[in-house]
Structure 1
Amino acid sequence: MKNPIIDILMPAYNEQNSVQQVIMEIPDVVRHILVVNNNSNDDTKTYAQQAGAMVIDEPQRGYGKACLSGIAHIATFNTAPDILVFLDADYSDYPAQLKDLIRPIIEDDYDLVIGSRAKGKRESGSMTLPQLFGNWLSTTLMKWIYKTNYSDLGPFRAIKWDRLQQLCMEDETFGWTIEMQIKAAKLGFKTTEVPVDYRQRIGISKISGTVKGVFGAGYKILWTIWRYR
């Protein structure tokens, strides 16, 4: 793949304190940065626009819902991207590592690349014990049931646009990342992981930062693993 068109999709809910910093550190190999303002009640939208991102509004809360809305919007572009990268707006990932993330697609024709926090360097406190346990349990269950070799459900990931369309993604909440990985395995996609570093996010996590979020995400992930078995 020579000179691919690369777009970024960034769901954002109340990330006014971090979204600009994330956008400013994205390498210039990217064509469009699309921020999906997921019913924020702060100035996330304004800050993202000021940093040069395209912004659309998705009033229905949910990580997966924001991703689905962003994908639908990108599908209206006159020219589709070759690669779509998913990146969180909380500054926990390192945007500069995007080049490492897309390299297996460009050089070795992989379909899906997961940024693995388990294989990278994690700042102390960047992942809570429930997150670490949930990742271990989820990837272990997928290995048993779907014969996969994932080490993480990391949200920093890249996928070929045409392959993404084949997945027919549906989940609107916490099951989005694992749905993608399970479906990719079932369809026989060429998938790999690259190590990515991880730091403490700016602000409080909407998932790991609340008891409701932890249990909600855990239940949805386990249900998704069982659903597609």
Structure 2
Amino acid sequence: MAEAGTQHVALVIPALNEAEAIGATLAEIPVGVVDEIIVADGGSTDATREIAIAAGATVLASGRGFGRACLEGVCEARGADIIAFMDADGADDPAFLPALLAPLKTGTADFAIASRTRGVREAGSMAWHQVAAGRAAGLGMRTLYGVAYSDMCTFRAIRRDALVGLGMRELTYGWNIEMQMRAARAGLAIVEIPVAYRRRRGGVSKVAGNLRTTLTAGTRIAATFLRVATQLSGPAAAPNKM
């Protein structure tokens, strides 16, 4: 990959059966913005792995679990200074990667997270319950930590050393909200970046695809929120294998 300045940037993309979207997603990543692209494949039974490899990405067999895929990607990117995360379905617009990375590269933030609700959303790109869940989670975190999040999407970037220090544990869909809660509790400098959000390029959403997957993801996110919120204040759990 091309050089991205003096700081090494790795982009981690968790993926599961995204053959219809992963090729276009990788092709849209601006040249020179990241140094390393890691696709963490959660056991795809379609051509996701082959398409990602052909596009030049490093592909990991991460095993099932959204958080597990993210964790394995971070472990692979041991030489990175900054880790960015993005979904594989093409809904996140890679053109906003420079905006997400800029606050970290200049040292004005430790953690930058995209906000779909503050940006321009294509019609049908987010279900009503996704918007509602983001608002409810944001209200809860604001009450607990005084940090105003408006979204809990995958599209984000964080200093790798800061991420390791958070002691992340969640291996499911609760990974995103755990990161946000631990970052707020740790006092990291956090910034939200409004972004455009699109309909997925193909395939079926693993979260909002049907009632069962929606309930499963929602339950894991809620359980993670309660677990982290009820932990005693102070240092987070000891870092895991990152």
Q: TM-score range by the shorter chain?
A: over 0.9
- Deviations along 1:46-88, one digit per CA (max 9) or x if unpaired, are 00011110111123x111011111122222xxxx111110011
Alpha-carbon offset, residue 146 of structure 1: 2.2
Q: Could you say what the CA RMSD is over the residues aligned between the two structures, in angstroms?
A: 1.4
Of 4, 7, 30, 1:4 maps to 7
SS in 1 for 2:90: coil
From 18, 35, 53, the equivalent of 2:21 is: 18
Q: Which runs of 5+ in 1 are unaligned?
A: none
User: What displacement does 1:109 show?
Assistant: 2.7
Q: Is the 8 A contact 1:130 1:214 kept in 2?
A: no
Q: Which deviations, in whole Å up to 9, do the C-alpha atoms of 1:5-61 show, x marking residues without a partner?
A: 1110011100111111111111222111000111000010000011110111123x1
Structure 1 residue 128 displacement after superposition = 0.4
- Aligned mate of 1:33, from 10, 32, 37: 37
Map of 2:160 onto structure 1: 161
For residue 212 of structure 1, report the CA deviation from its aligned partner: 1.5
Q: Which residue of 2 aligns with 1:228?
A: 228
**Contact persistence 1:14–1:43 (CA under 8 A):** yes
1:74 counterpart residue number: 77
Q: Work out whether residues 16 and 43 of structure 1, in 8 Å CA contact, stay in contact via their aligned partners in 2.
A: yes
**Does 1:215 find its partner at 2:222?**
no
State the alpha-carbon separation in 2 of the partners of residues 37 and 224 from structure 1: 23
| TM, length-normalised to structure 1 | 0.94
User: Aligned partners of 2:217, 2:185: CA distance in 1, in Å?
Assistant: 22
Residue type at the aligned position of 2:53: Q
Amino acid at match of 1:228: V
- The residue aligned with 2:68 is 65
Q: Distance in 1 between matches of 2:97 and 2:213?
A: 28
- Aligned residue for 1:47? 51
4+ residue runs of structure 1 moved beyond 6 angstroms? none
Distance in 1, Cα, partners of 2:145 & 2:204:
33
The alignment of Structure 1 onto Structure 2 pairs a total of residues equal to 224
In structure 2, the residue corresponding to 1:132 is in which secondary structure? helix
Name stretches of at least 5 consecutive residues in structure 2 with no aligned partner: 230-242
User: What letter is aligned with 2:188?
Assistant: F
Aligned to 2:238: none
Question: Counterparts of 1:183 and 1:121 in 2: how far apart (Å)?
Answer: 28
Contact 1:138/1:221, CA 8 A, preserved across alignment: no
**1:149-198 superposed Cα distances (whole Å, 9 cap, x missing partner):** 10100110000011111011111111000000000011110001001110
Mapping of residues 60-209 of structure 1, within 5 Å:
61-75=64-78, 80-202=79-201, 203-209=203-209
